[in-house]
Amino acid sequence: MPDTPAKLPDFVSWPSFPFEGDLRVKPLEPIADHEPPRQGEDAGSCLACSAPDEAYIWVSERWRVRAMDRPTGLPMVLILESRSHLDLGDLPNLLAAELGVMTVRLERAIRSLDGVARVHVNRWGDGSAHLHLWFLARPLGRLQLRGSFLSLWDEILPPISEPQWRENLALVAAWLAEFGGRPLAEPPRIEWQAPSTFKSEIVADTPGPSGPEIVSSAEGSGATPAEDRSGEARVLPGAAPGDTASTEGAGVATGSEAAPRNRPTPGIPKPVVPSTVPSPGNPPTPGPHPAASPAVS
């Protein structure tokens, strides 16, 4: 098999390489006569184009961000898509410039999450024709996951907890919405409470000089996932779809953006309708299989 390199590449000995044991290089298949069409090569059959905004965690006039349909091994895996049916090389200058803004913004938002050390940005484009960039968060302290094998580790590691995953999605959506657009994932730990119930959250043992503090239910209520597993969409009565849809979330002339904070502070959730966090029963279907490995997408 002359086309098949016999020697294993050096990277199999890297600490980040996920496998060990006896390995062999696969025989190379013959070169194809033609490239097969990708999913959605034609806009009419494109899953991304036909997906409703509710399949995403944040949308704006020209961009949308979606998650996998369920938690995976990494603390956060997100996909940034253009709303228009374009591939990377087709972007007009406005969208190309906004792609830079959106990429930086999303990297910052994901990096602000607890337990995230680094965010890797990838674009492959072999699976789906519609532009989609992958954002993969490398867990803090997981040095073994550093580098280009991170997308493989995402499928190897046990999935993170669903409450944590939903909270991360909501935090990223809220961060992005501070610059415009519409968040469609809400913090699962923020409950709509009557004022009287806030009293139960007064921290009695830390009065300090400024008196008792109210613990933000989004930050530190101490609610366990079992106590607050709702994570379900909450719909505010009276809110109308598209309230903020005309606000573009990726203007290129936004000036300097805040340096990364520890966390976005969404405060009271914004009324969004309908608010759906992708779930196994409500998958964000565009593109290839949402939980598919980025390596094939």
Burial class (CB in 10 A: 0-12, 13-18, 19+), 195: exposed
- Whether the CB-CB separation of 181 and 171 falls below 8 Å is answered with no
DSSP 8-state symbol, 44: G
Residue 108 in the binding site for Zn ion (CB under 5 A): no
- Whether the CB-CB separation of 173 and 48 falls below 8 Å is answered with no
Residue 130 CB, shortest distance to Zn ion, in Å, is 4
- Pairing type for strands 77-82 and 116-122 reads unpaired
Residue 132 or 166: the one with the smaller Cβ distance to Zn ion is 132
Residue 45 CB, shortest distance to Zn ion, in Å, is 9
Q: Which stretch binds Zn ion (CB under 5 A): 68-76, 125-133, 142-150, 172-180?
A: 125-133
Question: Of the candidates 39, 46, 98, 185, which one interacts with Zn ion according to CB under 5 A?
Answer: 46
R_g of the chain, CA atoms, integer Å: 21
DSSP result, 38-86: PBTSSGGG-HHHHS-GGGSSEE-SSEEEEE-SS--SSS-EEEEEESSS-
Contact letters for Zn ion, residues 253-282 (x by CB under 5 A) = ------------------------------
Please state, in angstroms and rounded to a whole number, the distance separating the CA atoms of residues 189 and 191.
6
Residue 48 or 119: the one with the smaller Cβ distance to Zn ion is 48
Q: Which stretch binds Zn ion (CB under 5 A): 39-47, 111-119, 142-150, 254-262?
A: 39-47
Residue 38 CB, shortest distance to Zn ion, in Å, is 11
Question: Of the candidates 64, 105, 120, 130, which one interacts with Zn ion according to CB under 5 A?
Answer: 130
Q: Which of residues 71-100 bind Zn ion (CB under 5 A)?
A: 85
Please state, in angstroms and rounded to a whole number, the distance separating the CA atoms of residues 244 and 260.
24
Please state, in angstroms and rounded to a whole number, the distance separating the CA atoms of residues 247 and 158.
38
Residue 274 CB, shortest distance to Zn ion, in Å, is 22
Binders of Zn ion: how many residues, by CB under 5 A?
5
**Nearest residue to Zn ion, scored by beta-carbon proximity:** 46
Name residues whose C-beta falls within 8 Å of residue 26's C-beta, 6 or more positions apart in sequence: 4
Question: Of the candidates 48, 74, 77, 101, which one interacts with Zn ion according to CB under 5 A?
Answer: 48
Q: Which stretch binds Zn ion (CB under 5 A): 22-30, 73-81, 123-131, 139-147?
A: 123-131
Question: Of the candidates 17, 38, 49, 279, which one interacts with Zn ion according to CB under 5 A?
Answer: 49
Q: What is the helix (H) or strand (E) element at residue 234, kind and residue range?
A: none
CA distance to 103, 130, 166, per residue, from 97 (Å): 10, 18, 30
| Sites of contact with Zn ion (CB under 5 A) | 46, 48-49, 85, 130
